[in-house]
Amino acid sequence: MIQKRNFAHRIVRGRLLVALLAASSAVGVLGITTAQASASSRSPIVLTETSYYTSVASNGAIYTALNTVFSNFEKTHPGITIKREDIVNSGNSYLTAVAAEAAAGNLPDVLMLDNPTVPTLASYGELTPLSTLGPTAIPTLGAAQQAEAKFNGTIYGYPLYTNTIALFYNKAMLAAAKIQPPTTWAQLLTDAKALTNAQHYGIAFSGETCAGCNVWTFIPFLLSNGGSLTHLTTPQSVQALALWTDLTKEGAIDKDFTNWNQGQPEAEFAAGKAAMMINGPWFFPTLNSVKGLSYGVVEIPVNTPGQNVVGPIGGEVWTIPKSNPTIEKAAYELLNYMAKPSVDASLATASGDIPTVQSALPTWQKTASPLYAPLLAELKHGFVRTSTLGVLYPRVETAVGNGIVSALIGKQTPAAAFATAQANVNSILEGN
Amino acid sequence: MNRKLPREELTPPERQATWSVRAKVGANEALTLARPADYGHDTSGRPAGPARRAGPWHWMRSHRRQVTLLAFVVPALTYVILFFVYPLIYGFMMSVERIGFIAQSGPYIGLHNYIVEINDPVTREALTNTAIFLVASLFFQFTIGFGIASYFSRRFFLSRFLRSLIIIPWLFPPIASGTIFAIMFAGQGGIIDETLQSLHLISSPIFWFDSSFKAMFVIIFVNIWIGIPFNAVLLYSGLQDIPDELREASALDGASAWQRFRYITVPLLRPVSLIVIMLGIIYTVKTFDLVVVLTNGGPDNGSQLMSTWAYTLAFQNFQTGQGAAVANMLFVFCMIVAFFYIRATRREVAVA
C-alpha cells in the first residue's frame, strides 16, 4: 500500500517537476539551478518521511514531537511539505518493509533507521552521501556519533539522539536487604543471589538471540572487561559469559530469560518480580507510571574496579535515500533543521533519549531526569556496534547470541560455547 | 464483413451434440460426462463454413466453443500464473543467486546456497526438529482425534453441543493460542508450573524454554492441541459414513468388538484417514507463527523448524538467497506429499 502510493506519488511529483522546469525555462527565468529552485522554495516539494513512530499510543511523545518539528520546518521553508509514511515495527517488520521498498526503488525521501542497519543500506548504494549535498552537521555531534554516522569513511546520516543501557534497581527491595547497588561483578552475583526469594528474582535482563536483545545487553560486560565480539575465546570474553552463567546457576535470574527480549525484563521489574534489571531509558515513562515503584539507575558493574563501563550506543539515524538533487537538497535542509540544538533537544526529550548535538546538552540537562547520569557516563566510552563490523554486525550478533544462549542453557561450557561462536564469527568474517 | 449469416451457418454441428450421462453398470456408480466424438476444432468432413473466413472476429464466431472454453480457462490460468507460478519461479531464481538485504537479482551462483545450507548444522538441526515435530504432532493429533471422534460417534446427552465445542482450538489464530500458551508455560507465575508445584509434583519451576528438548515438547504439545479438532471432525464424519448395518451384520456373525474395529471400521475409514494425514503433513510442516511466538526457534536454534529457519535466514540475517533455498527444500517436500495426496484421493474416489 505504502509502496504503491509512494510510487504513484513519485510519478506525479516527477511530472510536476518536469512541467515546472519547462515552464520556468520558457518564461526565461534563468540563473537558478534546479538545486537552487528548491532552496528558494519556488516549486512545491513533497518530502516523504518514514520512521517507525506510528502513533502516540505505541511510541509516545516522539510521534507528536516529530509532527511539531515538521510543521515548524514547513513554516520556515515554504514550498516544502512533509508527508509521513511511517511503518510499524514489530519484530523485524520495519526493516523488512524498508528492504522491500529498496528492492522496488520506492524508498522515502527521508528515512529513519536503527543505527546498526545504516551500513547495510549504504552498502547497496541506496543512501545519499551527505557531504555531497553541502556541509554537514556532523562536527557538532559527539565523537561516537561522528563515527556512527560514517560507513567506510562516508557520512550517511545524522544520529540525532542516543541511548544505552544501565542497571535499574528497586529501592525498596535493596533497602529491605540492606544492599547498596553493586559496582563489581562479584557484588552483582552475591547481591542478585541475596535479592532472590519466593517473591522475586535478583535480576532480569534479555537473554534471547534477536536484534538488540542478548548481545546488546552483553556488550557492556564483554567490552568493559576487555573482551571483543570478534575475539570470543580470550579469557576476558569467556569471563563475561561465565558471569551470566553463574547468575543462572545461582538461580538469581528467571531461567526463562533465554526467551526474553527487552520487554519481558521490564514487565518483571515493573511487577516487582525482579529486584534489578538491565535496560534502557525508553522505559522511564512506563516505570514512572507504576504505582509504588521507586527505582534508581546506576552504571553496569565491572569485573575489576577502575574498568570503564562501555555502553552500547543505541538510537536512530536519519538518512536521505537517493532520489534526485532537488529532493535530496530539501531533505538535507530538513535534516540540518533537525540538527539545530533546540530542535535536537526537543526530539531527544520526546524520545526519552540523550541529544547528540553537543551544544544541545546543557539545555537538555536542565530538564532531564538525574536518572540519565549513569547513561551519560557509560556513553563516554560508548561502543558503535557497526564501527568495525559494518554490514556484518547483524550476523555476528546472531552468532554471538547463539553462543551466549548455548552456555546459559548449559548445553556447552562458556569456553566451549564461545569457541563454537568464534568459529561461526570467523566464517562470517571470511565472507561465507 | 458485417453481413448477417443464417444461424445454422454459424453453428457448428457439434453444437447439437448433447451432453449425455452414462451410468456404469456395477456396484460402483460413477458419473461420466460423455464427450461428443467430434468435440474439438477439427472441421474436416464438413462443408467449408465461415471458419475459413479471414479475421479474428469470424474465427471467434466459428470457434464459439473454443472461445468459451478459453474464456473459462484464461482467468484461472492468469490467476495461477500470477500468484503461484511467478512467485515460485522467482523464489527459485533467488535461491540460485547471491542475494542479500535488498532482494534485487544478484549474480548466478548455481546450487551454492543449497550446498551451504545442507552443510549448515542449523539446517540439519531444523530438519531433524521438523521431522520430530511432524511425526509426533501427526501421531497424537490423529490418535487423540480418532479417540474423540469414536467417543462422539455415540449419541448421548449434550453430545452435539460438546462436539461443537471441540472445534474451538482450530478457530483461534495460532498467534493468539501461542501467546496464551507462552504465558501458561512461563516459569514464574505460569499456570502450568504453578499447578504442578501446588500439587507437589515438582519442587521448582520446570522452565520450559531453557532446553531444546523442553522447547520442542512445548511447540509439539501446542500444535497437537491445535490440530486435534481438525482430525476429530474429519474422522467423525468418516465414521458417520460407515453404514451401521455393516457393523450390526458382523456383530450378528459373531465378530468381536476388536474384529469389528479391525475389519470394518479401519478399512472403511482408510480414505478419510489418508486425506486427514496428508493434509496434516502439509499443515504441520509449514507451521510457523506458533513457533515464532512460543520459542522463536530458540534456545540456540533448539526448536528451529525449516519454516522458521527460512524466515530467520531471509528476514533476520538477510541472507535472502539461502532463505529461499531452505524454503524451496520445504516446498519440494510439500509437493511430494501433495502428489501422493492427489493420487490417493483419486484412487479412493475410483475405488469408492
Highest mean pLDDT among A43-57, B54-68, B148-162: A43-57
Q: Are B317 and A398 within 8 A, CB to CB? A: yes
- Angle made by CA atoms A268, A270, A274, in degrees to the nearest 5: 45
The phi, psi pair for B157, rounded to 5°, reads: -55, 125
Distance from CA of B208 to the nearest CA of A (A): 8
* Portion of chain A with pLDDT greater than 90, in percent: 73
To which H or E segment does residue A141 belong? none
Nearest to B133 by CA among B228, B208, B211, B221: B221
Closest residue in A to B214 (Cα) is A409
* Portion of chain B with pLDDT greater than 70, in percent: 83
The confidence score (pLDDT) of residue B100 equals 81
Alpha-carbon span B323 to B284, nearest angstrom: 19
Alpha-carbon span B104 to B102, nearest angstrom: 6
Residue B205 within any structural domain of the chain: yes
Which pairing describes strands A110-114 and A45-50: parallel, antiparallel, or unpaired? parallel
A134-143, A357-366, A391-400, B45-54: segment of lowest average pLDDT: B45-54
Alpha-carbon span A78 to A43, nearest angstrom: 9
Q: Are A120 and B318 within 8 A, CB to CB? A: yes
The predicted-structure confidence for B189-207, as pLDDT tens digits, reads as follows 789 988 998 898 888 888 8
Q: Are A99 and B102 within 8 A, CB to CB? A: yes
Please name the amino acid found at residue B184. M
> B319: which chain A residues are within 8 Å (Cβ-Cβ)?
395
Alpha-carbon span B134 to B140, nearest angstrom: 10
The confidence score (pLDDT) of residue B136 equals 97
Tell me the average pLDDT across A56-65.
89
B53-67, B112-126, B275-289: segment of lowest average pLDDT: B53-67
- For chain A, the average pLDDT equals 88
Residue A316 in 3-state DSSP?
strand
Tell me the average pLDDT across A246-256.
93
* Portion of chain A with pLDDT greater than 70, in percent: 90
Alpha-carbon span B40 to B65, nearest angstrom: 8
pLDDT of A6 above 80: no
Residue B217 within any structural domain of the chain: yes
Residues β-bridged to residue A158: A318
Tell me the average pLDDT across B317-331.
91
Question: What is the total residue count of chain B?
Answer: 352
Which pairing describes strands A80-84 and A45-50: parallel, antiparallel, or unpaired? parallel
The confidence score (pLDDT) of residue A72 equals 96
The phi, psi pair for B35, rounded to 5°, reads: -95, 135
Residues β-bridged to residue A162: A354
Q: Are A395 and B302 within 8 A, CB to CB? A: no
The confidence score (pLDDT) of residue A57 equals 85
Largest Cα separation within chain A, whole Å, is 82
Closest residue in A to B315 (Cα) is A96
Please name the amino acid found at residue B116. V
User: Judging by beta carbons within 10 Å of its beta carbon (0-12, 13-18, 19+), is residue B1 exposed, middle or buried?
Assistant: exposed
The confidence score (pLDDT) of residue A337 equals 96
Nearest to B66 by CA among B31, B30, B2, B15: B15
DSSP class of A80 = E
Nearest to A332 by CA among A147, A137, A106: A137
pLDDT of A10 above 60: no
Spell out the residues 6+ positions from residue B234 whose beta carbon is closer than 8 angstroms to its own: B145, B272, B275, B276
Q: Which residue has the cell 527480549?
A: A261
Alpha-carbon span B19 to B37, nearest angstrom: 11
Residue B105 within any structural domain of the chain: no
> B292: which chain A residues are within 8 Å (Cβ-Cβ)?
91
Query: Domain with B124 in it: what CATH number?
Result: 1.10.3720.10
Reading the block at residue B131, the C-alpha cell is: 521431522
Question: What is the total residue count of chain A?
Answer: 432
The confidence score (pLDDT) of residue A26 equals 38
Closest residue in B to A199 (Cα) is B188
Q: Residues A85, A5: contact at Cβ < 8 Å?
A: yes
User: Judging by beta carbons within 10 Å of its beta carbon (0-12, 13-18, 19+), is residue A30 exposed, middle or buried?
Assistant: exposed
pLDDT of A30 above 60: no
Distance from CA of B205 to the nearest CA of A (A): 9
Alpha-carbon span A280 to A208, nearest angstrom: 16
Top-tier CATH class for A166-310+389-429? alpha beta
Residue ranges of the alpha helices (H) in B173-288?
A: 174-184, 191-198, 212-240, 244-252, 257-260, 266-285
Report helix angle A393-408 to A414-429, nearest 10.
160
Alpha-carbon span B154 to B19, nearest angstrom: 44
- Cβ within 8 Å of B, A 87-106: 91-92, 96, 99-100, 102-103
SS3 string, A164-226, reads CCEEEEEHHHHHHCCCCCCCEHHHHHHHHHHCCCCCCEEEECCCCCCCCCHHHHHHHHHHHCC
Reading the block at residue A298, the C-alpha cell is: 546506576
Which pairing describes strands A274-279 and A154-155: parallel, antiparallel, or unpaired? unpaired
Distance from CA of B196 to the nearest CA of A (A): 16
Closest residue in B to A201 (Cα) is B188
> A406: which chain B residues are within 8 Å (Cβ-Cβ)?
299-300
* Portion of chain B with pLDDT greater than 90, in percent: 39
- Cβ within 8 Å of B, A 238-267: 254-256, 258-259
Closest residue in B to A268 (Cα) is B188
Give me the sheet containing A295-298, strands edge to edge. Answer: A201-204, A274-279, A166-170, A295-298
pTM score of the predicted model: 0.79
The predicted-structure confidence for A109-136, as pLDDT tens digits, reads as follows 999 999 888 998 999 899 999 999 999 9
Domain span at B267: 117-351
Tell me the average pLDDT across B316-325.
89
DSSP class of A304 = S
The closest CB to that of B209, out of A259, A394, A402, belongs to A259
Spell out the residues 6+ positions from residue B71 whose beta carbon is closer than 8 angstroms to its own: none
Distance from CA of B318 to the nearest CA of A (A): 9
Alpha-carbon span B319 to B311, nearest angstrom: 10
Highest mean pLDDT among A335-344, A387-396, B91-100: A335-344
Closest residue in B to A404 (Cα) is B300
The predicted-structure confidence for B91-113, as pLDDT tens digits, reads as follows 999 999 888 887 777 788 989 99
Q: Would you tell me how many other CB atoms lie within 10 Å of the CB of residue A304? A: 10
- For chain B, the average pLDDT equals 82
The confidence score (pLDDT) of residue A418 equals 97
Residue B94 within any structural domain of the chain: no
- Angle made by CA atoms B119, B123, B127, in degrees to the nearest 5: 120
The confidence score (pLDDT) of residue B349 equals 61
Residue B279 within any structural domain of the chain: yes
Distance from CA of B109 to the nearest CA of A (A): 13
The confidence score (pLDDT) of residue B255 equals 84
The confidence score (pLDDT) of residue A27 equals 38
Tell me the average pLDDT across A71-83.
94
pLDDT of A140 above 90: yes
Q: Residues B223, B285: contact at Cβ < 8 Å?
A: no
Q: CATH topology of A2-163+315-379 equal to that of A166-310+389-429?
A: yes
The predicted-structure confidence for B1-21, as pLDDT tens digits, reads as follows 444 444 444 444 444 444 433
Is CATH 3.20.20.30 the classification given to domain A2-163+315-379? no
The confidence score (pLDDT) of residue B14 equals 45
Alpha-carbon span B199 to B202, nearest angstrom: 8
pLDDT of A1 above 70: no
Query: A2 or A383: whose pLDDT is higher?
Result: A383
Residue B347 within any structural domain of the chain: yes
Q: Would you tell me how many other CB atoms lie within 10 Å of the CB of residue A371? A: 17
Asked whether the CA dihedral B23, B28, B33, B35 is positive or negative, the reply is negative
Question: Is the Cβ of A427 closer than 8 Å to some Cβ of chain B?
Answer: no
Where are chain A's structural domains?
2-163+315-379, 166-310+389-429
> A273: which chain B residues are within 8 Å (Cβ-Cβ)?
188-189
Nearest to B141 by CA among B118, B120, B111, B166: B166
Q: Residues A176, A225: contact at Cβ < 8 Å?
A: no
- Angle made by CA atoms A233, A234, A235, in degrees to the nearest 5: 115
> How many domains does chain B divide into?
1
> B208: which chain A residues are within 8 Å (Cβ-Cβ)?
256
Query: What residues in chain B have their Cβ under 8 A from chain A's Cβ atoms?
Result: 100-104, 116, 186-189, 205, 207-212, 292, 295-296, 298-302, 315-319
Distance from CA of A39 to the nearest CA of B (A): 32
Alpha-carbon span A204 to A270, nearest angstrom: 11
Residue B213 within any structural domain of the chain: yes
E-assigned strand segments in A11-152: 45-50, 80-84, 110-114, 150-151
Spell out the residues 6+ positions from residue A296 whose beta carbon is closer than 8 angstroms to its own: A168, A169, A171, A181, A371
Alpha-carbon span B219 to B247, nearest angstrom: 39
In chain A, the N- to C-terminal Cα span, in Å, equals 35
Residue B328 within any structural domain of the chain: yes
Q: How many CB pairs below 8 A link A and B?
A: 86
Distance from CA of A259 to the nearest CA of B (A): 7
Q: What share of chain B is helix, strand, coil (3-state, %, to 5)?
A: 65, 5, 30
The upper half-sphere exposure of residue A68, i.e. CA atoms within 13 Å in the direction of its Cβ, equals 11
- Angle made by CA atoms B150, B153, B154, in degrees to the nearest 5: 115
